[in-house]
């Protein structure tokens, strides 16, 4: 069966600063090509760390192509779309240089220690945490 390939490069950022795949646990860049005439989609996954790749061969035809940055837990960035991409036998179609903007994710933990000997809540005098509220804000305060 005659096939053509898709070639792309990519970078990751937080919208301002460049990021490495390991910093956001990105594993692969997934390329899905769905025939515009209908039928089953074809897909390939490229290793994120490479920053560039060429898909396996897809059958000749016209496709709507989606490219997604993936981690073990799912998508990390909005899907990028390319419509009406024509593949012909023996061709390598460049999709160009993509930038995946990855929203910051992280963890947060709190440890409370009374620094007193013995249990906290013995009566008297006793102690307890009645309420606790934490708010996290980014520099814009939009988070």
User: What are the tens digits of pLDDT across the range 70-90?
Assistant: 998 789 999 999 999 999 999
Which whole number is the average pLDDT over 100-119?
67
Q: What is the distance in angstroms between the CA of the first residue and the CA of the last residue of the chain? A: 51
125 upstream amide cis, omega within 30 of 0: yes
- For residue 34, pLDDT over 90 is answered with yes
Which burial class, exposed, middle or buried, applies to 100 when counting CB atoms under 10 A from its CB (0-12, 13-18, 19+)?
A: buried
């Amino acid at each position: 069966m005659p096939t053509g390939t898709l070639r792309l490069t990519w970078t990751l950022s937080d919208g301002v600063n460049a990021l490495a795949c390991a910093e956001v646990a990105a594993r692969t860049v997934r390329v899905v090509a769905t025939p515009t005439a209908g039928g089953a989609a074809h897909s390939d996954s490229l290793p994120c760390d490479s920053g560039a790749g060429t898909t396996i061969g897809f059958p000749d035809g016209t496709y709507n192509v989606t490219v997604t940055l993936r981690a073990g837990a799912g998508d990390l960035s909005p899907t990028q779309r390319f419509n009406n991409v024509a593949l012909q036998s023996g061709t390598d179609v460049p999709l160009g240089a993509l930038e995946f903007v990855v929203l910051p994710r992280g963890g947060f933990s709190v440890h409370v220690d009374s620094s007193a000997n013995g249990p906290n809540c013995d009566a008297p005098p006793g102690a307890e945490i009645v309420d606790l509220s934490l708010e996290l804000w980014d520099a814009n305060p939009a988070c």
